[in-house]
Chains A and B, each alone.
Chain A
Amino acid sequence: MTKNRKRYLEAYLFLVPIITFLAVFKYYPFFTGIFRAFYRWNAANIDKFVGLDNFIELFKDANFGAAFRNILIYSASFLIINLTMPLFAAVLTYNIRNERLKKFFRLGFVVPMVVPMMVIILMWRWIYGGSFGVLNQFLQMIGLERWRHAWLGEPSTALGAIIFINFPWISGIYYLIYLAGLNNIPIDLHESAQIDGINHIQRLWYIDIPLIISQIKLVVMYALIVAMQVFQQPLVLTSGGPGTSTLTPALYMYQQAFTYDRFGYASSIGVILFIVLMALTIINQYIVKETDKLD
């Protein structure tokens, strides 16, 4: 008995750091955030319980509606992009015979991933920027002067410009995920396909893609969760503007808190976002589990 107790004590001692850190710096602010969603609160002199008022206001808030519309467009585009371009590049790389070339490209596509996201965002700001921006100069050079835009400054192009960052959208985790899936395909499957006289496109459609379906599902869920949270790009590039054309829910939350001192209202946005993401994550867990069974 006492021996057991001593072992328990030891086990808990090893857990002290993680439990302390997570309780103080994760659970405490998390529950504060939920609690504060029901308050009108500016972190200074105003601090009043208002029930569901924040949520009611939120659902009537046209800006929040616009932010949700933007995030849906952004997420759908992000999803389509990451289901096609990196997969295309991965399939191509996978089929290169020359091992050295293959290695070179695989490594090469990873390199931009280690460049800080912030640098990439700022680099694209420069590419889009001004009438002498690189993109506008390029359009002029190929004779498409009429297509020149203040890309980040016009409501009709700003969201598109943010989606277009990272073109051709290959360098990223998604490329590596697809490649890992393709590398797991048993080699004799391809050999027997070759004997049966299947061409490359048929092989891709009937053999390769069905066999990497779990990777594709992973990409869908991960990309959705990443896309729903986007806000660094609009924060740095457009502050959500012009108007509300690039506002996202997370950015709206940030602005309500740090520009307007409406911490209670901002917390209610956080709660809504959390619920949406939680739902996505649970669906994700369910799908991943299902594919585990299939394997």
Chain B
Amino acid sequence: MLNNVKHKISFGQLILVGCVLILFIFTFLPFYLMVVSSIKYQMQIIDQPWWFSLPFHFSNYVKAFDALWRPIINSFIVTIIGLVITETAASMAAYSFTRYDFPFKNIIFFSILMLLMIPGFVILIPQFIQMTNMGFFNTYLGLAIPPGVHMCPLAFILMRSFFIGIPGSLFENAQIEGANNWMIFTKIVVPLSKPVLSTVAILAGFTIWNNYVWSLVISQGDKVQPVIVAIAKLKGNINEGDGLKLAGYVIASLPLVILFFFMTKPFISGITAGAVKG
């Protein structure tokens, strides 16, 4: 009897897992084809699109990396500047809102929240004119400031709800010990808030790194061009063809994918926070 039930369950489970597996295979098929084709020359891709074929042209990767290493460094610089803006401005504001009562608190609060409703592209044009007039065209700051600022309201909300959860006795004790608010903020709150700071870092870093349209309009040539723009311009010679481009796409994906496997948890909470709160 017991055996029977067990058997029945495992049969249903088999179908279930089979269905998921099919969806899984279809999800990864394009990525598989991309990786397989990235070590081929154009003729090999046309002759045998579905499987590896000899010879392997790892030179595609060498050449693509040659074209992309500078843009990748640019992307890191831009992302870090943007993150510093988001994390600093949002955490200080969140601290102020959890620790103080002051006039116009509600008005300031809502004027921050309101910005969640303004999608980035609505201000694309005036922002472009503004940044150009301020001399930020084709600079790291020009690439980093708008997306960094764009992430502030959401980061502020996430941090505020985290800071509220820090026990008040910690603040009181520190105050008795003679610490001022700046010290409490930097020495107690920030170290305690690593989870929310890393959630914000992932969420904002991801958005800034992937920001294509703004990067496209505010940069020109190679000087500060981030990788997200550079990959769209990749070109192989007549032999290499698509293989070189695909190698470039793989290279451009690796930094985030590797990071993801090292810190899966903050990544997932960062990605989800973006959708649920935004």
B43-85 vs A: 1/0 string, CB under 8 Å?
0011001000000000000000000000000000000000001
B232 touches A118 (CB 8 A): yes
Which chain A residues lie closer than 8 Å to B108 at the CB level? 15, 19
B93 touches A118 (CB 8 A): no
Contact of A112 (CB < 8 Å), options: B31, B130, B181: B31
**B179 interface residue per 8 A CB criterion:** no
**B260 interface residue per 8 A CB criterion:** yes
Contact of B275 (CB < 8 Å), options: A11, A101, A222, A263: A222
Which chain B residues lie closer than 8 Å to A22 at the CB level? 111-112, 115, 149, 152-153
> What are the 9 A-B residue pairs with the smallest beta carbon separation, nearest first?
A11-B100, A14-B96, A29-B126, A32-B126, A17-B89, A18-B93, A18-B89, A11-B102, A29-B123
Q: A17-B89, A32-B130, A33-B125 are in contact. Are A122 and B24 (CB under 8 A)?
A: no
**B118 interface residue per 8 A CB criterion:** yes
Stretch at the interface among A48-56, A57-65, A152-160, A265-273: A265-273
Interface residues of B (CB under 8 A from A): 9, 12-13, 16-17, 19-20, 23-24, 26-28, 30-31, 33-34, 45-46, 49, 85, 88-90, 92-93, 95-96, 99-103, 108, 111-112, 115, 117-119, 121-130, 145-146, 149-150, 152-153, 156, 181, 185, 206, 209-210, 212-213, 217, 228, 231-232, 242, 245-246, 249, 252-253, 256-257, 259-260, 264, 267-268, 271-272, 274-276, 278
Which chain B residues lie closer than 8 Å to A287 at the CB level? none
Interface secondary structure of A, over-half rule? helix
A168 touches B26 (CB 8 A): yes
Contact of A118 (CB < 8 Å), options: B115, B124, B153, B212: B212
Complex: A167 Cα to B33 Cα, angstroms = 14
**A68 interface residue per 8 A CB criterion:** no
Interface residues of A (CB under 8 A from B): 7-8, 10-12, 14-15, 17-19, 21-22, 25-30, 32-33, 36, 43, 88-89, 92-93, 95-98, 101, 105, 107-119, 122-124, 126-127, 129, 132, 134, 137-138, 167-168, 170-171, 173, 176-177, 180, 200, 218, 222, 225, 229, 231-232, 235-236, 250, 253-254, 257-258, 263, 266-267, 270-271, 273-274, 277-278, 281
A-B contact pairs, 15 of them (CB 8 A): A8-B102, A15-B108, A18-B92, A18-B112, A22-B112, A26-B115, A28-B130, A95-B16, A97-B13, A108-B27, A117-B210, A118-B232, A231-B121, A236-B212, A253-B125
Which chain B residues lie closer than 8 Å to A236 at the CB level? 212, 232
B168 to chain A, nearest CB (A): 16
Contact of B276 (CB < 8 Å), options: A17, A138, A177: A177
Complex: A124 Cα to B104 Cα, angstroms = 50
Which chain B residues lie closer than 8 Å to A108 at the CB level? 24, 27-28
6 other A-B residue contacts (CB within 8 Å) besides A21-B145, A200-B12: A8-B100, A17-B89, A36-B126, A89-B20, A116-B228, A263-B125
